[in-house]
Chain A
């Protein structure tokens, strides 16, 4: 795979991840009413398929993020291999935590859909309260994932800043994005700053995704940084002889 292809794939995956994560945010923002379990329950049951579609969309988004992680790791590997791998590991853990939040997303339907064993032992109000609690746990899992994504963004931003084949400004934007996502380590702080702590994230990630997708990387400079000593042509066999 050529570096240009990897860059384009990384940009495509990151952009698709961004696109598919918009719908879940909108739908859960519209249906979940904080502090009102009865309305939330009624909303969920009236729009069950729409809400479930949000959960599935978030999982698709996570899958794209895993793809983006791999390709961006490959693109930034010449700058610093171990740091690029470290950033990818943060992202993988974030993806796992983020996908787990989708499990809690679907728990309200177990509680609210009138299984006789639940409706016979709990009052409706109790079940609705439990359902809302699980949605809040979902939110908490999401916050943890976002903070870990922040660490990924910091790594990626630093590597882009130190690279000679991508514009430094995108590295700076990604560093700011990472700091923004890290505010989710303290949810009260994140809530009071929202949406200003999410804007740099959106700006940095969209500009990185579009840059990779449209401009890719400067292939000659990428090869130079990948192999500072020899010519790119015989690098493969050279590496093999040394190792």
Chain B
């Protein structure tokens, strides 16, 4: 192996077929952990909000949030923790996948940074709802029923913000999945699941935005492939890590033209 190390500077520095660098392995473990960690937090947050926020009942929603305010705040804090983890995740994915194609990896990072900004600002709506329900003196001039209705309305805006963010989440994740496919660092089936699940998420987020009827029918089912992909990729990277394709002679399609 020492001879291959010596000749490396003469090879194309962008080739994914060069030996995997230690920083890529570290990044892969980090990314694997963060995918699973963020998934666990988001399942927790969704279940808390699913229990506390009632679809068409402002009064009940207000009283259930008042009864479990700490839990509700914890679920919002959880979302913010996910967004912080996400930014580290994009860095890790960029470090791993820039060798496949640096420009395309940067495109994926751009999509996902915009997503994170949208989702981060969206959490404000939950804090607005909490303020409206806070019972502060200065709000006494407004009817309690009206404050509760407004709070419930702002929690619906939270949902809109999520689906707007998910458009960019899907696009960015699809681009990263495409690079996984080209890299051959992970099984091709997993990468294809990522491309399919991510595109489904981006497209269906737009479709449900235009035709809310579709959302009433399908609900969150269209996010399942994406969820499976993130969990699968998380476990794969954490346990197996990334591997160079065993047959160096067999170049996967497209990598011949990769690099900038």
- Give A residues with C-beta under 8 Å from B: 1, 6, 49, 52-53, 55-56, 59-60, 62-63, 66-67, 69-71, 74, 88, 92-93, 95-96, 99-100, 102-103, 106-107, 109-111, 115-118, 120-122, 236-237, 239-241
Contact = CB atoms under 8 A, between A and B. Distances in A.
Contacts, number: 114
A35 to B, nearest CB: 23
B143 A121 contact: yes
A99 B14 CA distance: 33
Given A52-B209, A92-B110, A116-B56, A103 B164 contact: yes
B252 interface: no
A94 to B, nearest CB: 10
Given A59-B164, A111-B153, A121-B145, A96 B117 contact: yes
Interface residues of B, number: 45
B146 interface: yes
A70 B10 contact: no
Contacts of B148: 117, 121
Interface of B: 9-10, 12-14, 56-59, 101, 103, 106-107, 110-111, 113-114, 117-118, 121-122, 143, 145-146, 148-149, 152-153, 156-157, 160-161, 164-165, 167-168, 171, 206, 209-212, 257, 259-260
State the majority secondary structure of interface residues on B: helix
A56 B106 CA distance: 24
A71 B110 CA distance: 11
Contact of B110 (A1, A69, A106, A120): A69
Contacts of B167: 59, 63, 99
Contact of A96 (B9, B114, B145, B152): B114
